[in-house]
Amino acid sequence: MGFHYKFQKLLEIEKCREEDIAKDLKILQRKLYDEEKLLVFLQSVVSLQQSEMEKKMHIQSEANVFVMYESYFSKLHKDIATQSSKVKDVYKKVDHMREILLKIFKKRKMLEKLRERYEKEYKEQALQLGNENFDEIATSRFYYKRKKENSH
């Protein structure tokens, strides 16, 4: 009879959960990257448009151009605020997912160490049992050999 780990199924389940959570974490990290990229893009658009507005303000000093730029900047700042909150939300989700993954990783590692310890104990017991059998065989041979010598 070979070694049987009674928590093997639980270990396999934790490995599957860890793989699933790792995949989900990668997806969330990619989403976070995309959201941050969009935020940086919006911020660069604002700075670029502000410099353009300054150039146009030096050339034209009409109020309607200024009002148009002001409403555009207002919308861009709202978009930036919205995007910033999205980035924060996704970051929180990524952080939470990392915590979950860490807990699952620790649980899996604990189950693997427990498995190693049980397997080591099993092997030691099997070796000890084998040695006992060899000792018994050697004792029996010695006994029968002595018995034969004494009977002659």
pLDDT at 61: 66
Residue 135 pLDDT > 80: no
pLDDT, tens digit (0-9, with 9 covering 90-100), for 54-109: 877 777 667 777 788 888 889 999 999 999 999 999 999 999 999 999 999 999 99
Residue 41 pLDDT > 90: yes
* Residue 129 neighbours by CB under 8 Å, 6+ apart: none
**Residue 14 contacts residue 38 (beta carbons within 8 Å):** no
Q: Half-sphere exposure of 12 toward its Cβ, with a 13 Å CA cutoff?
A: 5
